[in-house]
Amino acid sequence: MCSWTFRMSGALGLILAAAVALAAGQESQVSRPSGEGLPDGPGKDVTVRACGTCHEGRRAASVRLTRDGWAAVIEDMQQRGAKVSEQEFPVILDYLTTHFLGEALQPLNLNTASQIDLEAAGGLLRREAAAVIRYREQHGRFKTLDDLKNVPGLDFKKIENRRDSLVVM
């Protein structure tokens, strides 16, 4: 599932960042609700509808995540009340990973990873990444990935799902 994210290059990120910046510039002239600032493409309408109600859909443009990371975000947003049907889930996931992909090239060492790395490469939400760091500070290094089960507020499934790209050293 992760493998195709490996093929994406940083250059794409730059192009997308430029596209988003461009769209953001246009937005100052024309003020439209929620979808503005998001690149056009298949799935945009569905994404704006599902993700543009509580905050602007553009919020997604501020983050770069792996495919797994985006799946976790959508699940998290569903728990917050986002209405995403089974049919819409993969459409939104494709849209977000096409335009806002982060890279996960190196295995991530959960004992040293920064907040940003835990979010971008580890696919954790901001508060989960913060909880991992807090736990690390209080209890010392993780000895096995299973130790992450003890981190309050962390959805361990996210660790479980990307075991092959996470290490504790």
Give the footprint of ligand HEC on this chain (CB under 6 A): 50-51, 53-55, 59-60, 63, 73-74, 77, 80-82, 84, 92, 96, 125-127
Distance of CA 128 to the CA centre of its chain: 12
Find the largest Cα–Cα distance for the chain.
53
Q: How far is the CB of 127 from ligand HEC (least distance, A)?
A: 5
**CA-CA distance, 67 to 61, in Å (whole number)?**
14
What would the two tokens of residue 54 be? 């509580």
Nearby residues of 156 by Cβ (< 8 Å), 6 or more positions away: 148, 149
**CA-CA distance, 112 to 96, in Å (whole number)?**
28
C-alpha closest to that of 55 among 75, 24, 82: 82
Q: How far is the CB of 42 from ligand HEC (least distance, A)?
A: 16
Nearer to ligand HEC, 126 or 149 (CB): 126
Nearer to ligand HEC, 125 or 141 (CB): 125
Q: How far is the CB of 25 from ligand HEC (least distance, A)?
A: 21
Nearer to ligand HEC, 80 or 143 (CB): 80
Nearer to ligand HEC, 60 or 148 (CB): 60
Q: What is the CA radius of gyration of the chain?
A: 17
Q: How far is the CB of 50 from ligand HEC (least distance, A)?
A: 5
